[in-house]
């Protein structure tokens, strides 16, 4: 009888631990979705799509149809890998089209330089050291506060895109990208016409693998 009781208690504690893990991971993922617009410069529609994809996956974890352990891969994707690379590229593109340049500035060339660099990082042609330098030039530490589903306000110090990055800093960063592209043998401005780096596509790829 004692052994049966002990087994029942352990089973109950294990179940409670699993429920807590599911809830915790679901909350972390939903927070990640809510903080995207604070961390990067994203178009509203794209931000809504990304948030919806994250929320759907978080709900599956909360419901128990997906292991909470799989949520770590999604969390990592927003700090390392193709998803964050796509978000950085999108942030640069959205930022440059919001700035005032001289009439002879080739914005499409700037966009191609960024795309070429981040595609090079994704494919392994650009060294990690160059990626780190560029990320340091584009990102800064910021405290982001979000409200959880049960009303808690969670302050988190995270790296965000410098939304007020000036022209000089931006062009310094682009010069570093060009230098890295050239060193990797990536011919300036020549990119496969079908090559893209879209955060929605990259996140969907991560989720499909899970």
Name the one residue in this structure whose structure tokens are 């109950």: 12
pLDDT of residue 151: 61
Would you place residue 40 in the very low, low, confident or very high pLDDT band (cuts 50, 70, 90)? very high
Using a 10 angstrom Cβ sphere, with 0-12 exposed, 13-18 middle and 19 or more buried, the burial of residue 208 is exposed
Name the one residue in this structure whose structure tokens are 């660099």: 117
Alpha-carbon Rg of the chain, whole angstroms?
21
105-139 burial: b if 16+ Cβ within 10 Å, else e: eeeeebbbbbbbbbbbbbeebbeeebbebbbebbb
Break the chain into its structural domains and give their ranges: 2-209
SS3 (DSSP) at 98: coil
Per-residue pLDDT averaged across 132-157, rounded?
77
Q: Which residue has the higher pLDDT, 85 or 6?
A: 85
Quick one: tokens of 161? 């895109």
Dmax over Cα atoms in the chain, in whole Å? Answer: 85
pLDDT in tens, 159-200: 899 988 988 999 999 999 999 999 998 876 667 666 789 999
User: What proportion of the chain, given as a percentage, has pLDDT over 70?
Assistant: 82
**pTM (2 d.p.):** 0.84
Quick one: tokens of 50? 């990304």
């Amino acid at each position: 009888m004692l052994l049966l009781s002990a087994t029942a208690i352990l089973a109950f504690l294990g179940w409670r631990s699993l429920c807590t893990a599911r809830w915790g991971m679901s909350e972390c993922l939903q927070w990640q979705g809510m903080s995207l617009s604070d961390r990067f410069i994203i178009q509203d529609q794209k931000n809504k799509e990304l948030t919806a994809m994250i929320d759907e996956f978080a709900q599956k974890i909360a419901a128990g149809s997906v292991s909470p352990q799989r949520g770590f891969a999604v969390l990592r994707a927003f700090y390392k890998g193709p998803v964050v690379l796509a978000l950085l590229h999108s942030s640069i593109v959205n930022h440059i089209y919001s700035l005032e340049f001289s009439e002879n500035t080739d914005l499409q060339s700037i966009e191609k330089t960024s795309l070429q660099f981040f595609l090079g990082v994704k494919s392994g042609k650009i060294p990690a050291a160059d990626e780190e330098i560029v990320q340091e030039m584009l990102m800064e530490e910021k405290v982001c506060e979000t409200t959880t589903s049960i009303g808690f306000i969670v302050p988190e110090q995270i790296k965000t895109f410098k939304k007020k990055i000036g022209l000089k800093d931006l062009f310094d960063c682009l010069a570093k990208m060009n230098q890295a592209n050239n060193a990797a043998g990536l011919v300036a401005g020549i990119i496969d016409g079908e090559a893209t780096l879209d955060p929605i596509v990259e996140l969907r790829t991560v989720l499909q693998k899970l």
